[in-house]
C-alpha cells in the first residue's frame, strides 16, 4: 500500500514550531500560525459537517481573507477538492462550471450570492454564504472543533482544481494533486532563498495560480508571513500596505506595475525597501521595466504562474 500524503498537513507542518509567529496580515490585523492551523481544522470540520466527503468538489468564491485560506486548506485536509472561482467571469460561465465540475457546494461572499444562486437553479449544487446568515459558513466554522485528523489521501489524489481563463472557449478544469500542492513556494525557496523571515505581498487575487502559489501556499509552506488584501487593490492602497508592513517580496503583474508608476516616483519611495519584485501574467513591456528601474533602482523579475503547472 502506498504511504498516505496530505498536502495540507505538509504545508502546515511548521505551525506547531511557529505557533506564535505571524502567518497572515489582513485588514491591519494579524493571525499567528497556531491560530491559522486551528482555523483550518475548524473549516475542515465545518465542511465534513455539511456532508463534504473525500473527493467531493467544492467551489470557493471568497475574496482573500483568513477564512478563504482556511477554507482552501480545510478542504484539502479533509480530502475534498478545492476549486477557486473567479468572480469576474461572464455570468453564463457559472452555470457551466457548476454543472460540468459537478460541484456539491459553493461557498460565496454575499455580493456573489445572487449570480451563483441563479446559476445553481435546477441543479444539485448548494450555495452557502460566508457571513450574515444564521447558517453562514463563518458561523459554522466558529462553532466547529479546532482539531481535525487529516484524511488519508495519497500523493496522486486531487487536492484542488484550477480553471483556465476560457480564452479558448469555456473554462477548462486542470487537476492538481496533493503532491503538486505540497510543492508550493518553489520560487521563494529555490530562486531567492527566502525563509521564515520573509514577508510577501501579492496584488493579484488568490484564485489566480500566480498568487495562490507565491502569495499563499508558498509563504505558508516555508513559514513566512503573507499580506492579504481582501478587496481588489488600488495602487495607493498597495503603497500604504508596503510602507506599513515592509514586505521584502512583491508579486504583481505588468498592468499593476504601470498603475503604480502612474502615481509618480515620489509616491513610490516606500517601495525602495522591497528586495524583490516579480511579474507574471503577460510579458513585461520594456518600457515598464526601464521606468521602474529609473524610479526605484530595482529590477522587476519575470516568472510564470501557469494554471497547467501550478509551481
Question: Is the model's pLDDT at 95 over the cut of 60?
Answer: yes
Q: Which residue has the higher pLDDT, 277 or 16?
A: 277
Parallel, antiparallel or unpaired: strands 22-26 and 29-32: antiparallel
Assess contact for 115 and 90: CB atoms under 8 A: no
**pLDDT at residue 237 in the model:** 97
CB distance 232 to 238 below 8 Å: no
Q: What is the mean pLDDT of residues 49-72?
A: 97
Name the band, by pLDDT with cuts 50, 70 and 90, for residue 166: low
Mean pLDDT (whole number) for 140-149: 98
| Contact partners, residue 177, CB within 8 Å, separation at least 6 | 155, 156, 157, 158, 159
Rounded to 10°, the helix 113-120/91-100 angle is 50
Note the pTM of the prediction, 2 decimals.
Answer: 0.96
Percent of the chain with pLDDT over 90: 89
Q: What is the mean pLDDT of residues 40-46?
A: 98
Per DSSP, the residues of 215-230 read IIIHHHHHT-EEEE--
The pLDDT value given to residue 304: 82
Mean pLDDT of the chain: 95
**Model confidence at 305: pLDDT above 80:** no
For 255-271, b where at least 16 C-beta lie within 10 A, e where not — what string?
ebbebbbeeeeeebeeb
Above 70 in pLDDT, residue 168?
Answer: no
Q: For residue range 212-268, what is the model confidence (pLDDT) as tens digits?
A: 999 999 999 999 999 999 999 999 999 999 999 999 999 999 999 999 999 999 999
Q: Identify the pLDDT of residue 167.
A: 61
* pLDDT of 36 higher than 60: yes
Residue 21: the pLDDT is 98
What is the C-alpha to C-alpha distance for residues 8 and 21, in angstroms, rounded to an integer? 18
pLDDT band at residue 170, thresholds of 50, 70 and 90? confident
Predicted pLDDT of residue 193: 97
Give the pLDDT of residue 171.
86
State how far the alpha carbon of 191 is from the alpha carbons of 187, 204, 234, 236, in Å.
Answer: 5, 21, 28, 29
Amino acid at each position: 500500500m502506498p504511504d498516505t500524503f496530505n498536502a495540507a498537513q505538509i504545508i502546515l507542518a511548521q505551525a506547531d514550531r511557529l505557533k506564535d509567529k505571524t502567518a497572515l496580515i489582513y485588514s491591519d490585523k494579524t493571525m499567528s500560525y497556531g491560530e491559522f492551523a486551528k482555523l483550518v481544522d475548524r473549516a475542515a470540520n465545518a465542511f465534513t459537517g455539511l456532508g463534504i466527503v473525500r473527493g467531493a468538489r467544492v467551489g470557493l468564491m471568497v475574496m482573500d481573507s483568513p477564512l478563504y485560506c482556511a477554507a482552501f486548506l480545510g478542504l484539502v485536509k479533509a480530502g475534498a477538492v478545492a476549486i477557486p472561482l473567479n468572480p469576474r467571469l461572464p455570468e453564463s460561465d457559472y452555470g457551466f462550471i457548476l454543472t460540468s465540475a459537478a460541484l456539491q457546494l459553493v461557498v460565496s461572499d454575499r455580493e456573489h450570492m445572487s449570480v451563483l444562486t441563479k446559476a445553481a437553479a435546477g441543479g444539485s449544487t448548494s450555495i452557502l454564504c460566508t457571513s450574515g446568515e444564521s447558517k453562514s459558513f463563518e458561523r459554522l466554522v466558529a462553532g466547529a472543533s479546532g482539531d481535525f485528523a487529516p484524511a488519508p489521501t495519497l500523493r496522486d489524489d486531487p487536492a484542488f482544481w484550477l480553471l483556465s481563463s476560457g480564452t479558448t472557449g469555456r473554462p477548462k478544469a486542470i487537476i492538481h494533486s496533493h503532491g503538486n500542492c505540497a510543492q508550493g513556494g518553489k520560487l521563494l525557496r529555490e530562486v531567492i532563498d527566502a525563509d521564515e523571515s520573509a514577508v510577501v505581498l501579492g496584488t493579484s487575487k488568490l484564485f489566480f495560480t500566480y498568487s495562490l502559489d507565491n502569495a499563499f501556499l508558498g509563504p505558508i509552506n516555508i513559514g513566512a508571513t503573507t499580506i492579504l488584501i481582501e478587496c481588489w487593490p488600488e495602487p495607493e492602497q498597495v503603497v500604504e500596505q508596503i510602507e506599513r508592513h515592509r514586505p521584502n517580496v512583491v508579486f504583481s503583474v505588468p498592468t499593476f506595475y504601470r498603475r503604480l508608476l502612474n502615481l509618480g516616483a515620489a509616491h513610490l519611495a516606500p517601495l525602495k525597501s522591497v528586495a524583490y519584485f516579480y511579474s507574471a501574467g503577460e510579458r513585461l513591456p520594456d518600457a515598464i521595466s526601464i521606468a521602474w528601474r529609473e524610479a526605484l533602482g530595482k529590477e522587476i523579475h519575470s516568472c510564470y504562474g501557469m494554471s497547467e503547472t501550478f509551481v
